[in-house]
Structure 1
Amino acid sequence: MTRWQADALLISVALIWGFAFVPQAWGMEHLGPFAFTGLRFALGALVVAPLAWLEWRQPKVHAVATAGGWAAMAGLGSLIFLGAALQQVGLLTTSATNAGFLTALYVPMVPVLGWLFFGRKPHWVVWPAALACVVGTWLLAGHQGSDTAGATMATTFVVGDLWVLGSSLPWALHVALVGWVSARWNVGYVLALVQFIVCSVLALVVSLVIEPWSWAAIQGAGWAILYTGAVSVGIGYTGQVVAQRHTHASDAALIMSSETVFAALFGALLMGDRLTPSGWLGCGLILVAIVVSQWLPLRQGGNGHGASEAEASHP
């Protein structure tokens, strides 16, 4: 896969994920957040399982059958569980638009984590970009908006926004590490499958302990589970794993930040989300900070053009 093909694949992933915030929110009308997360990742595992089996039959892939390889893949699955579960809990009380933008706060974190894990010092622009994201978050989550009927909405920073904010760290860790793990053990589909299984099992165990279950609830959330499981997880997350073997983590984060734009677009079209000027200002500030924090180093030929994490560990 060429670099341009990988970038095009990541744009498609961002579109899939941006739309997914809408069915994720609708799914919460029937199921608890952990049950919904567990079921959709179980479906995603079924979608990718045939590809993982074909990949596993290749002799070069068997190098992953070590304690370190399985632990690394299971660890990435645990990060997905934390990110998806926190995000899903947040969607109980926040809007799809807010969740889309707040989740994207992981993007400026990726170069910082690359510095910690791979010794790649972040560009100076990361620090003002991080501050801009904090200010934008306050403007976005504390805005005064209106619903489709024109009724005034709450002006406070709702608890759902805090849950979604918390999800940004495991997402950042996942983006920073998934490309390295995939290249280090020469797997893509097997890695995706293990991630999905680990995430699903963890979510379902928690759900069985703290959430009520019923077949009627599962049926009510059926189409939301179908899209977010087969498309968002099975295609989206697998596409991310495959693409990040051929592009840098910081570049991937930049491209996938367009997820926030898609989330706002679909939230407005399908869920009636509305933002006042201060809310739009917050969205714009976050998006600009995300883009600039990734684009400027590339423009100046700095860290953005360095070796990828996988390349850095394999001279």
Structure 2
Amino acid sequence: MVVLCATNMVVIKYSEAHFDASAFSLGRFCIAALAFAPFLSEGLADKALWAPAAELGLWMGLGYLTQAQGLLTVDASRAAFISTLTVVVVPILAGLTGKGVRALTWASALGAVLGCALLGTGGGSGFGTGDLLSVLSAVFFGIQVFRTEHVAHKLKPGKQLPLMALTLSSVAAVMLVSAAFVHPAEVQRILSAPASFGAALRDQGVPWWQMLYTGVLSTDAVLLIEVFALNDVPSTDAAIIYSMEPVLGAGLAWAVLGERWGPLGWLGAGIILTSSLAAQIFGSSCAEKSS
């Protein structure tokens, strides 16, 4: 799973250099939603799933949308490390809505912000719009993870796949709205004449392999692994495993895209990684002792 996540931003960054970002995102999540089409009818039949699926789809869609837009102007390796801010966002949200935020969590958050500033300074260009969008993406994904946990506690047995089908359909709807906002005339033309859609795709040279990879593997497969395969993995072990994602992502960006950082960039990346690990590992340990 970590390998799939690490390759995700490199593939998106490469694809966006040759194809429109909003159109790529729309194609990616239409493919991701189609993979769960067999469970869609069951999800639509259960009205109790509509509201949570729409909410999770909104947060997830905003996360992926800002991620894709951020990658237009920021290195994939920088975006990969900034994405680990999600690990800090989740305990802050949990604390604000429950028992309060621990000092360690606030310290980790401040460390992650400092790391982002250093990463922007020493990772190429200064901290810009792409970095800000990457930070917003991490926040949106943090909200999505936090709300997913809340929904999961109330979910009836056997409803995971129908919920995912509805959620991914909601994400595809978010991407359709985004594409319509960026390219209103093209979307209106395709919706009014669906038969022209195939010809339009062939003319534009759509990166189908990249869409299939990000839609089926780095979206659907990752979600399935999270839902089913990681239920028994301790949070401390999961934190260490997840910490490899930005490291692998930066390595792939270095090898495939030729991205390079200065000393301050590597220092910032290290601070972000350390802050995220501290928030997850030691925060979990404190929670277990207090319970």
Same fold (TM over 0.5): yes
In structure 1, the partner of 2:175 is 203
In structure 1, the partner of 2:117 is 138
In structure 2, the partner of 1:231 is 217
Structure 1's 184 and 251: CA in aligned 2 closer, same or farther, altered over 3 A? farther
Which shows bigger deviation, 213-222 or 242-251? 242-251
Distance 1:74 1:110 in 2: 20
Aligned match for 2:76, one of 71, 81, 96? 96
In the alignment, does 2:126 pair up with 1:156? Answer: yes
In structure 2, the partner of 1:87 is 67
Residue correspondence of structure 1 range 19-34 to structure 2 within 5 A: 19-34=7-22
**Contact map agreement 2:239 2:277 (CA 8 A) in 1:** no
**Contact map agreement 2:236 2:281 (CA 8 A) in 1:** no
- 1:179-202 Cα distance to aligned partner (Å, 9 max, x none): 331341132211221111111112
Structure 1's 144 and 196: CA in aligned 2 closer, same or farther, altered over 3 A? closer
Aligned match for 1:268, one of 238, 243, 254? 254
Residue correspondence of structure 1 range 11-90 to structure 2 within 5 A: 12=1, 14-50=2-38, 52=39, 56=42, 65-67=46-48, 69-90=49-70
Whose helix proportion is higher, 1 or 2?
2
Distance 1:184 1:256 in 2: 26
Structure 1's 304 and 253: CA in aligned 2 closer, same or farther, altered over 3 A? farther
Structure 1's 144 and 177: CA in aligned 2 closer, same or farther, altered over 3 A? closer
TM-score by length of 1: 0.78
Structure 1's 183 and 72: CA in aligned 2 closer, same or farther, altered over 3 A? same
Which shows bigger deviation, 241-250 or 279-288? 241-250
Distance 2:22 2:234 in 1: 32
Distance 2:148 2:256 in 1: 32
**Contact map agreement 2:123 2:266 (CA 8 A) in 1:** no
Residue correspondence of structure 1 range 186-197 to structure 2 within 5 A: 186=156, 187-197=159-169
Aligned match for 2:107, one of 125, 128, 135? 128
Amino acid at match of 1:37: S
Distance 1:37 1:279 in 2: 28
- Partner SS state of residue 102, structure 2: coil
Distance 2:47 2:201 in 1: 39
**Contact map agreement 1:120 1:303 (CA 8 A) in 2:** no
Distance 1:267 1:163 in 2: 19
In the alignment, structure 1 segments of 5+ residues that lack a partner are 1-11, 146-154, 308-315
**Contact map agreement 1:111 1:250 (CA 8 A) in 2:** no
In structure 2, the partner of 1:170 is 140
Distance 2:66 2:121 in 1: 20
In structure 2, the partner of 1:303 is 287
**Contact map agreement 2:95 2:102 (CA 8 A) in 1:** no
Amino acid at match of 1:179: E
**Contact map agreement 1:39 1:204 (CA 8 A) in 2:** no
Aligned residues: 275
Distance 1:257 1:193 in 2: 28
Amino acid at match of 1:192: M
Distance 2:231 2:147 in 1: 11
Residue 263 of structure 1 deviates from its aligned partner by: 1.3
Residue 305 of structure 1 deviates from its aligned partner by: 6.4
Distance 1:237 1:131 in 2: 29
Distance 1:252 1:305 in 2: 19
Distance 2:238 2:171 in 1: 22
Structure 1's 242 and 176: CA in aligned 2 closer, same or farther, altered over 3 A? farther
Distance 1:217 1:127 in 2: 51
Structure 1's 40 and 73: CA in aligned 2 closer, same or farther, altered over 3 A? same
Percent of aligned pairs sharing the same letter: 28
Structure 1's 197 and 228: CA in aligned 2 closer, same or farther, altered over 3 A? same
